[in-house]
Amino acid sequence: MTEKTPIAHNQRMPIIDILRGWALFSVIIINYITIYNWNNHSQKNETDNFSKILENTSEIILGSKGWSLLAILFGYGFSILLKNISGNGQPKYLFFIKKMLWLLLIGIFNTIFFGGDILHDYALLGLILLLFYKLSYQSLFIIGVSILLLTPFLQSFLGNQHLLFLPKERDNFYQLYDNNSFIDHIKANFSMRYRWMLRLSYSIVFHLIQLGCLLIGVALHRSNFFLLIQNNLKLLKRILIISLVLSITLFLMQLFIGKFQWKFNNYYNLFYPEKLCIMAFTSSFIVWLYFTGKAKELFSALQIVGKMTLSNYLLQNIISFILLIYLKPHWDLYWYLIIACVVYIIQILISKWWLRKYNYGILEWLWRCLSYGQIFQLKKVKVTS
């Protein structure tokens, strides 16, 4: 009987960690903008034009791109993990359930610092993924795409019934948040995670979009997509062009819908289709740049952060809780973005230093140890000749 072991470092595909690093950059930018809006939600003064430009540009390029890309990569990693432990005589489903429950506990801890924690979703939806595990990659892809295409119909229907939002729970969050005490901020985060996020726009629509992304991620791994695309850059260019055309088309449609007050979104909401197409374009552009050998230093930095995604994600939230949520500095939006970029750059340097000495990020190591029920070597062993 083969012993269960995590994925070896030499089995990791660099492009996967690079995409994780890019997704994590998207997450920190959008999360820090979100905190800026929380801190200024009661301001009656109109936002200045420069802040509007910064926020709108960040939303177009990065908004909803980080978590959706991470969901695809989570599904990809899910498939790798189950393949890695298949055929070794171990109860792989029980093992995976335990792994997801540990991730859920890490998510609960993370909620102390940020109410918009995403780890809950990946843990719970990871359990649902087990229902689809035995399907072929073609079936997984078809189901995933179908979910992404059909969910906007449901979103429009629920919106027409005025069922998507819960203003009372939003107000309860802000009431706690505005008290500005350490304990009330923690209460506000848990209120957001376990009450405000029960609104149907999140609990149903958002989770369906995530599930569709997760299934596509599994299909990408099963089909050896990144290995195939590396040897077929023409196909990658087609994906790049198609996703760009769709992104521009949907973006312009959303502009016209808002400007001329068209009723299109009452029947088919284009919010997520637009976000997902732009995510597909930016991601495929990064993949194309990487496989053509460009921007090597940039990709090296993204890869090093992506290897410690869990640890870096939690650290981003701890810093934002202390510096931006608890202290509530009266800064303009651009300072929040500068802080986000500085934190990310520091994480690149810390990750590079850490991984020279250690095999895993600290949370990655802890999650592995808890999941496998054994202690893995954290510090690297020096090889002597």
Q: What is the pLDDT along the chain (385 residues), one digit of tens a residue?
A: 334 555 554 457 999 999 999 999 999 999 999 999 999 988 765 678 899 999 999 999 999 999 999 999 999 999 998 888 776 666 778 899 999 999 999 999 999 999 999 999 999 999 999 999 889 999 999 999 999 999 999 999 999 998 888 788 888 999 999 998 999 999 999 999 998 888 899 999 999 999 999 999 999 999 999 999 998 999 999 999 999 999 999 999 999 999 999 999 999 999 999 999 999 999 999 999 999 999 999 999 999 999 999 999 999 999 999 999 999 998 999 999 999 999 999 999 999 999 999 999 999 999 999 998 999 999 998 755 5
Domain with 178 in it: 9-372
CB of 306 within 8 A of CB of 24? yes
Phi, psi of 69 (to 5 degrees): -65, -40
Count of domains forming the chain: 1
Q: What are the structure tokens assigned to 98, written together?
A: 């335990």
pTM score of the predicted model: 0.94
- State the first-to-last Cα distance of the chain, in angstroms, to the nearest integer: 33
DSSP 358: B
Task: Give Rg (Cα) of the chain.
Answer: 21
Q: Closest Cα to residue 71, out of 203, 220, 254? A: 220
Separation CA 313–CA 15 (nearest Å): 19
In a domain, 380, yes or no: no
In a domain, 385, yes or no: no
In a domain, 95, yes or no: yes
Q: What are the structure tokens assigned to 258, written together?
A: 């808002």
Secondary structure (3-state) at 81: helix
In a domain, 3, yes or no: no
Q: Closest Cα to residue 118, out of 27, 215, 22? A: 27
| Residue with token string 């099963």 | 222
In a domain, 170, yes or no: yes
In a domain, 59, yes or no: yes
In a domain, 23, yes or no: yes
Instruction: Give 300's contacts (C-beta < 8 A, 6+ positions apart).
Output: none
Secondary structure (3-state) at 8: coil
